[in-house]
């Protein structure tokens, strides 16, 4: 397992998608903060990093990273026993975690540089550190979901389309509308549905709650991040193991 993680980390820094997506994010955040934006540096960075763009990049990266391994055929070099196949899948999750960290650091740096010379305050760093931690965890869950979705689809078009839809939480909006409709149709269910609302516990719904300035339910975000990562890891491992490699 550790060997596969080491290989994946070496590979991460030799993957073009890492550099292209990080540069795109950096330029975008830098230009936006240069043109305008109010508040402290951490407030601005928090606003950008929580906007859904980072999640979208993570989903696309997870898809491209898996696809590159399969399309190039390099997967053939990694082993083929059942236990090994599970590890091959799981060993990509630390890469997604690391990629999240890189994106968050790059985004923060771009915001800071973009606001330099405007006399903006740095802001509450402790609150920002918490924000980054939870963003990383929820981003890892989201990326793991797309590692698994890629294994189901075994192509990159559908997962990338789904990433764009999911990062904007369109599926959450749909689910929320369905929940309202059900509650209207069956009023007896309404209190239970309000207490355990499903659309509010999606990975992206919880990601949207994470904020530097507004208090959020840390425990609920943590639970969704952990449960999401575990559920999608198990799904991905199972699909990867059960299906023929080639």
Partner 1 sequence: MNCYLETKNLNKRYGSFEAVKNMNVHIYKGDIYGLIGPNGAGKTTLMKMIIGFAGPTSGEIVLNSEKKGEGVIGNLIESPGIYGHLTAFENMMLKAKAQGVYNKDELLDILEFVGLSNVPKKKAGKFSLGMKQRLGIALALIGDPEILILDEPTNGLDPQGIIEVRELIHKLRAERNMTIMISSHILSELQKVANVFGIISNGELVMEVTSDELMEKYNGDSGALEEFYLDVVRGGKKVC
Sites of contact with partner 1 (CB under 8 A):
2-4, 6-7, 10-11, 14, 16, 68, 72-81, 84, 244-246
Q: How far apart are CA 52 and CA 169, in angstroms?
A: 9
Residue whose CB is less far from partner 1, 80 or 184: 80
Residue 93's contacts (CB-CB under 8 Å, 6 or more residues apart) are 140, 143, 144, 147, 229, 233
Residue with tokens 């080639």: 246
Closer by beta carbon to partner 1, 11 or else 171: 11
Check residue 77 and report its DSSP letter: G
**Nearer to partner 1 (CB atom), residue 76 or residue 218:** 76
Give whichever of 17 and 110 is closer to partner 1, judged by the CB atom.
17
Measured distance CA(143)–CA(94) in Å, rounded: 10
User: What three-state secondary structure class fits 79?
Assistant: coil
Minimal distance, residue 155 CB to partner 1, in Å: 18
Which tokens go with 105? 């650091």
Find the shortest distance in angstroms from Cβ 47 to partner 1: 35
Least distance CB 243 / partner 1 (angstroms): 9
Interior angle at CA 186, CA 185 and CA 190, nearest 5 = 110
Q: How far is the CB of 147 from partner 1 (least distance, A)?
A: 17
CB nearer to partner 1: pick between 70 and 171: 70
Residue 13, Cβ neighbours under 10 Å: how many? 10
Select from 244, 45, 49, 52 the least CA-distant residue to 154.
244
User: Maximum distance among all alpha carbons in the chain?
Assistant: 58
Which of residues 84 and 181 has its CB atom nearest to partner 1 in the complex? 84
> From the CB of 29, what's the least distance to partner 1, in Å?
27
Nearer Cβ to partner 1, position 38 or 82?
82
Q: Where are the beta strands (DSSP E) in 100-224?
A: none
Distance between CA atoms of residues 202 and 234, nearest Å: 17
Whether the Cβ atoms of residue 166 and residue 204 lie closer than 8 Å to each other: yes
């Amino acid at each position: 397992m550790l060997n596969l993680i080491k290989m994946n980390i070496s590979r991460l820094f030799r993957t073009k998608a890492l550099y292209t997506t990080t540069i795109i994010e950096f330029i975008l955040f830098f230009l936006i903060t240069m043109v305008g934006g109010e508040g402290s540096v951490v407030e601005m960075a928090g606003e950008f990093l929580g906007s859904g763009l980072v999640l979208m990049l993570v989903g696309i990266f997870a898809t491209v990273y898996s696809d590159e391994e399969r399309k190039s055929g390099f997967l053939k070099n990694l082993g083929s026993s059942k236990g090994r196949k599970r590890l091959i899948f799981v060993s990509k999750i630390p890469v997604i975690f690391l990629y999240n960290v890189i994106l968050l650091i790059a985004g923060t740096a771009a915001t800071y540089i973009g606001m330099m010379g405007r006399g903006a305050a740095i802001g509450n760093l402790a609150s920002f550190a918490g924000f980054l931690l939870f963003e990383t965890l929820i981003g890892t869950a989201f990326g793991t979901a797309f590692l698994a979705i890629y294994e189901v689809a075994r192509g990159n078009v559908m997962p990338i389309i789904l990433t764009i839809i999911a990062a904007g939480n369109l599926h959450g909006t749909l689910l929320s509308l369905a929940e309202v409709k059900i509650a209207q149709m069956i009023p007896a269910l309404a209190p239970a549905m309000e207490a355990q609302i499903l659309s509010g516990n999606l990975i992206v719904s919880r990601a949207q709650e994470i904020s530097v300035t507004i208090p959020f339910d840390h425990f609920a975000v943590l639970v969704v991040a952990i449960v999401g990562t575990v559920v999608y890891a198990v799904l991905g491992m199972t699909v990867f193991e059960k299906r023929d490699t080639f």
